[in-house]
């Protein structure tokens, strides 16, 4: 009965760890999607700024120079902000990856421990029969 309880406890712990692993995978997937979305936004903004730059080139030289300087400054600020967000997301993805690896190792350890405890009565019985015979 005690082994039954241990087996049930290990099964519950294994299920809990699997749920945690799945949650981490979900978080990781969300972070990767956020990172991809930021990348697309950055490319779209760069394309938009390029189009604006082409339109401004058709205007007079003085106003064109002023507008381009303002545009470059704005683009630099946005690029810096997106780069920081991207670095933060990469860090979060790396953290989630390491947690996932750690959880996988724990799962493997629990699975092996569970298998060992589950087969121990069979090993005892076979050992007993070997001695008797």
CA gyration radius, the chain: 29
Q: Which domain holds residue 25?
A: 2-127
In-domain check, residue 64:
yes
The tokens for 84 are: 């920081």
In-domain check, residue 133:
no
Can you give the pLDDT at residue 57? 74
Considering its fold, how many domains does the chain have in total? 1
**Structure confidence by residue, pLDDT tens digits, 89-108:** 899 989 998 999 998 888 88
| 16: confidence class by pLDDT, cuts 50, 70, 90 | very high
- Give the integer Cα–Cα distance in Å for 96 and 21: 10
Q: Helix, strand or coil for residue 68? A: helix
Does the pTM surpass 0.85? The reply is no
- Give the integer Cα–Cα distance in Å for 25 and 19: 10
In-domain check, residue 54:
yes
In-domain check, residue 132:
no
């Amino acid at each position: 009965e005690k082994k039954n309880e241990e087996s049930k406890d290990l099964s519950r712990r294994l299920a809990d760890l699997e749920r945690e692993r799945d949650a981490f995978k979900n978080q990781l997937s969300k972070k990767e999607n956020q990172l991809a979305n930021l990348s697309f936004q950055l490319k779209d903004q760069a394309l938009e700024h390029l189009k604006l730059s082409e339109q401004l080139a058709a205007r007079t030289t003085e106003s064109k120079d002023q507008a381009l300087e303002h545009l470059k400054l704005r683009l630099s600020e946005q690029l810096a902000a997106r780069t920081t967000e991207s670095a933060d997301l990469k860090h979060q993805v790396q953290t989630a990856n390491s947690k996932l690896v750690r959880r996988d190792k724990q799962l493997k350890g629990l699975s092996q421990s569970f298998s060992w405890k589950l087969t121990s009565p069979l090993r005892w019985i076979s050992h007993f029969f070997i001695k008797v015979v």
